[in-house]
């Protein structure tokens, strides 16, 4: 039986550890727990002991505990040490090599891999000191999962700092116990050689981005206000996370992301053709603002304005539904299909309906009402809609949205063991 030593830090997310212990036990993984002094302010050793079915260790100078199973044995008798929630303070002490309580003494004495799941207020997480400590710990070979973006326990607070979801942590633990250093975003320290295997390594990610242009005649077209910034940020993030990326881009004014294969198209029909040609893919992210309609019979030559004549009327026909077509593809359907929904009214309700109707796994919905600054801007405030429910993500840069989305996608694929 594989054994995890779970170190529970003193953060609000400590209560989630009860579920984490249960999920690990369900998978036949033994869990022994250490609680910091602060952790005991949030949940009791009694509850943790009852769920883990093991004596909970809390004190470095506990004579009885030390006789039963000393701190060095605690450190050695596990296959993996997990710190969750990893508080800012605990990360600081780990980075400094402190050993002034049972948790840090064990972390210093262990020789097995360590996985940390940070959870804290976004200001604490983004603080230079915390980021410095995280970099130090990554360099020391500590694996990290999260934190994710989302609402905080404190009312009205949101940002990056939420502990990774229990399912994500379980999947990462399983990966690390299986000796799979590829299972996440962390680093593995082997004989001081730091090898990096990012979360989307070996995956093919297909992204659509930008608007489409639907010709009226050779010089005029119908377009929309999409800048392509969010879609291009997603392609760039997927590349950074190690994926092979194909970006199908409508006409945009921004540069192609580096290291990405880009196909430039104009119309919705060309975009669908390029998407079909790029399959199979593990993940498909449809961030392009595809025109719903095109002109039924575009003029072959420029439509001339004749003095006194009535303006021409344009008959529109429906364009192919790229997202719906791909999401309902049988064998060639990507394992994870993510759509974007740009709405101006009842954003979340419309996104939920669209997700179901089109058999899409996830929808990222944003409000593109006038004055919101989403179209063409560098920031986005999105609602993340899945079968499990809706998460309201805080205001973030488009690069941060891209990063958060693709890390989630990577964890989802790892958990579902899916690949093309």
Ligand X SMILES: Cc1cc2nc3c(=O)[nH]c(=O)nc-3n(C[C@H](O)[C@H](O)[C@H](O)COP(=O)(O)O)c2cc1C
Active-site annotation, residues = 224
From CA 67, how far away is CA 59, in angstroms rounded?
A: 12
**30 forms bridges with which residues in the sheet?**
3
User: How many angstroms from the chain centroid is the CA of residue 85?
Assistant: 18
| Closer by beta carbon to ligand X, 39 or else 80 | 39
In the complex, least distance from residue 168 CB atom to ligand X, rounded to whole angstroms: 17
Q: Is the peptide bond before 85 cis (omega within 30 degrees of 0)?
A: yes
C-alpha torsion 397→401→404→407, nearest 10: -120
Handedness of CA 354, 399, 326, 225 (dihedral sign): positive
Binding residues for ligand X, per CB under 6 A?
9-13, 36, 38-39, 87-90, 119-120, 124
For CA atoms 26, 27, 28, 32, the dihedral sign is: negative
- Identify which of residues 36 and 366 has a Cβ nearer to ligand X in the complex: 36
**Nearest to ligand X of 84, 406 (CB atom):** 84
Crossing angle of helices 102-109/88-96, nearest 10°?
A: 40
**Among candidates 127, 57, 55, 136, which has minimal Cα distance to 95?**
136
**Closest CA relative to residue 238, chosen from 208, 270, 276:** 208
Q: Work out how close the CB of 35 gets to ligand X at its nearest, in angstroms, rounded to a whole number.
A: 8
Dihedral sign for Cα 183, 187, 188, 194, please.
positive
Nearer to ligand X, 10 or 228 (CB): 10
Q: Find the angle CA(235)-CA(236)-CA(238) to the nearest 5 degrees.
A: 65
Q: Of 123 and 357, which has the nearer Cβ to ligand X?
A: 123
């Amino acid at each position: 039986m594989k054994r995890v030593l779970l170190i529970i830090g003193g953060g609000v997310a400590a209560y989630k550890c009860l579920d984490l212990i249960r999920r690990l036990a369900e998978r036949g993984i033994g869990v022994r727990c250490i609680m910091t002094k602060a952790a005991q302010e949030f949940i009791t050793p009694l509850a943790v002991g009852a769920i883990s079915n093991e004596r909970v260790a809390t004190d470095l100078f506990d004579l009885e505990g030390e006789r039963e199973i000393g701190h060095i044995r605690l450190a050695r008798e596990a296959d993996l040490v997990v710190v969750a929630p990893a508080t800012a303070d605990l990360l600081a002490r780990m980075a400094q090599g402190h050993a002034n309580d049972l948790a840090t003494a064990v972390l210093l004495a262990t020789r097995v891999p360590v996985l940390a799941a940070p959870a804290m207020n976004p200001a604490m997480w983004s603080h230079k000191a915390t980021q410095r400590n995280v970099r130090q710990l990554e360099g020391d070979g500590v694996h990290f999962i999260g934190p994710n973006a989302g609402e905080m326990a404190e009312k009205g607070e949101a940002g990056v700092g939420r502990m990774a979801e229990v399912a994500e942590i379980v999947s990462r633990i399983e990966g690390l116990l299986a000796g799979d250093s590829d299972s996440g975003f962390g680093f593995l320290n082997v004989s001081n050689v730091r090898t990096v295997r990012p979360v989307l390594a070996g995956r093919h990610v297909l992204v659509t981005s930008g608007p489409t242009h639907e010709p009226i005649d050779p010089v005029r077209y119908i377009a929309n206000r999409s800048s392509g910034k969010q879609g291009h940020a997603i392609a760039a993030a997927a590349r950074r996370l190690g994926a092979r990326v194909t970006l199908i881009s409508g006409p945009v004014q921004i540069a192609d992301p580096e290291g990405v294969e880009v196909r430039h198209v104009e119309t919705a029909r060309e975009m669908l053709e390029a998407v079909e040609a790029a399959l199979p893919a593990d993940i498909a992210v449809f961030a392009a603002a595809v025109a719903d309609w095109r002109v039924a019979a575009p003029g072959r030559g420029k439509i001339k304005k004749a003095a006194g004549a009535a303006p021409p009327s344009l008959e529109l026909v429906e364009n192919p539904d790229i997202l719906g077509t791909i999401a309902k593809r049988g064998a060639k359907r990507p394992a994870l299909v993510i759509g974007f929904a740009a709405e101006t009214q009842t954003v979340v309700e419309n996104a939920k309906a669209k997700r179901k109707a089109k058999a899409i796994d996830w929808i990222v919905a944003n409000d593109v009402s006038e004055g919101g600054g989403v179209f063409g801007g560098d920031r986005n405030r999105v609602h993340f809609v899945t079968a499990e429910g809706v998460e309201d993500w805080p205001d973030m840069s488009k690069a941060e949205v891209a990063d958060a989305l693709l890390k989630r996608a990577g964890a989802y694929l790892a958990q579902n063991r899916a690949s093309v």
